[in-house]
Amino acid sequence: MRKVITYGTYDLLHYGHIRLLERAKALGDYLIVGVTADSFDKVRGKINVSQSLTQRIENVRKTGLADEIIVEEYEGQKIDDIKRLGVDVFTVGSDWRGYFDYLSEFCEVVYLDRTQGVSSTELRSDRASLRLGFIGCAKEMVKQSAEVGYVNGMTVSGVFDPYGGTSPELEVYRRMDGYDQLLESSDAVFVLSHSRDHFKHVKTALEAGKHVICESPVALSEAECDELFALADERGLVFAEALKTAYATAYHRMLLLVQSGRIGRVVSVQSTCTSLADLQNGGDALTEKWSSADAWLPTALLPILQILGHEARSCAMTRADFGSAPGYDAFGKVDFVYGSAAATAMFGKGVKAEGSLVVAGTEGYVFVPAPWWKTDYFEIRREDQTQNRRFFYQLDGEGIRNELASFARAIQTDHGYAFIERETTRAIAGLVGRFVSCGAEVLTIDPVS
C-alpha cells in the first residue's frame, strides 16, 4: 500500500483545499492529512486562523478524502510522522516549492499546483473589513498601528492626537482634525491617550456605536469601568483592554501552568517593571511624560491579580517623585497581603532594577527573566534541579499583533476568549486610580543630577 501525507491549517475549508486533497489522494492508496494545532500556528506566526482545531479537523473529515487525520504540533514533526507512519509520498502546494526538499531523504516529495483565485486569507479578508482608528499620543500610536497590517481584514482608518503631537511614521495614515471625524471613518477605535482621558474617549466611542480597545488602565475607578462595560453590553459592542503582555503566548502558557498547580500552592508573586529613559532626558521634562503608574503599574499588577485574585486583605502603596518633578511618580511600589499569600509590584521610570517576574509556590517557582512583560521564555524551577523545565514560545510584535487579532476575532465572530477578565480590568483601574490620586505615601528623594 502506497501511503501519502500532506499538511495544512484548513481554515475556512474551500474548493481549493478539496481539490488539493483530491490530487494528493490520487498519488497513492492511503491519504494521511496533518492539521496544524492552534499553538503551532501561533509559533509559525499565523494569528488570523478563524476556526478552532476541532472545527478544522471536522471539515477535513467531512470531505471523505482522508483515510487518517493527525495533528501537527511541533517543528520537525513531518520527519517523525513520515518514519512512524511508513509514508511513501509527501505532498504540498506548489507555493512551498523547494522548501520541503529535505524530506526527499525520507520519501518522495511532490509539489502540487494550487487552484488559482481562492485562498483562506482572501476568504477571511472578505468576511469583514474592520476599519480601526487610533486616538492618543503620536509616539504611542506608532508601534500599535504598525501591527495592524498583520491582521487580515483590518486597516487603519486614521489617527488623531488630541495633544497636537506628530510623528513621521504616522504620515502614511490619514490624519484627522478631530475625534468626531475619526469616529465617522472607523468601525472600531484604539484608545492610546493619557490615562486621565481614557474614560471620556472610550465612552464617546461606545456612544457612537464603535467597538473599542483601550490601553490599560481603561479608566481610573471601578465605577467608571462598570459604566463602560454596561454601555458596551447595552449597545452590543466589544470593549477590550489592551495590555499586550496578556496576549503573549509565553505569558499565557505560564499562567495556565501556575493555575494548574505545577508549582503547588502559590504563596508569593513579585513583578518588577522599570526604565530610565525619561529621567535621563532631564528632570524638568518629567512632568510632560507619562508617569510610572501610567506606563508600568497595569503591567506590574497583571500577574498578581490573575494569579492571586482581586480580594487582597490589605494593600500598601509607596511612591516617589524625586522632588524635582512634583506629581510625576518616578518610582512606585504596591504591596499586597492575601489570606495565604503575599505579592509586590515594583515599577518606575526613574529607577532601574531587574525586570523579572517570580511566582513562588510550595513545590517550586516560576522565573521569567527580564524583560518579563515581553518574554518568549520562562522556567519552572524546583529543589531538585534535574526537575527544572524550560519553555520557549515565539513572540511576534511584542504581543500587540495577537492583541489586535483577538479583538478583531471577537468583533467578527461575536465571541472571543477573554485574555483579561473584567474583574481584573476593574481592579487595575481602581488601583491605578488610587495611586495617581496620591493615595500612596510620598517619599521625598533627592533629585538625580
Q: What is the largest CA-CA distance in the chain?
A: 81
pLDDT digits (tens, 9 = 90+) for 113-163: 876 555 545 544 445 589 999 999 998 899 999 999 888 789 999 999 999
The topology (CATH level 3) of 3-121 is Rossmann fold (3.40.50)
The topology (CATH level 3) of 128-242 is Rossmann fold (3.40.50)
Amino acid 414: pLDDT: 64
Percent of the chain with pLDDT over 70: 87
Q: Is the pLDDT of residue 241 over 70?
A: yes
At the second CATH level, the architecture of 246-443 is 2-Layer Sandwich (3.30)
Q: Give me the chain's average pLDDT, please.
A: 88
The span from the first CA to the last CA of the chain, in angstroms, equals 79
- Domain locations along the chain: 3-121, 128-242, 246-443
**Same CATH topology for 128-242 and 246-443?**
no
Starting at the edge strand found earlier in the chain, the sheet holding 188-192 runs 154-160, 130-136, 188-192, 211-215, 239-242
Average pLDDT rounded to a whole number, residues 13-31:
91
Contacts of 393 (CB under 8 A, 6+ apart): 42, 43, 248, 249, 250, 253, 376, 377
Q: How many CB atoms lie within 10 A of CB 402?
A: 24
pLDDT digits (tens, 9 = 90+) for 81-105: 999 999 999 999 888 899 999 999 9
Amino acid 4: pLDDT: 96
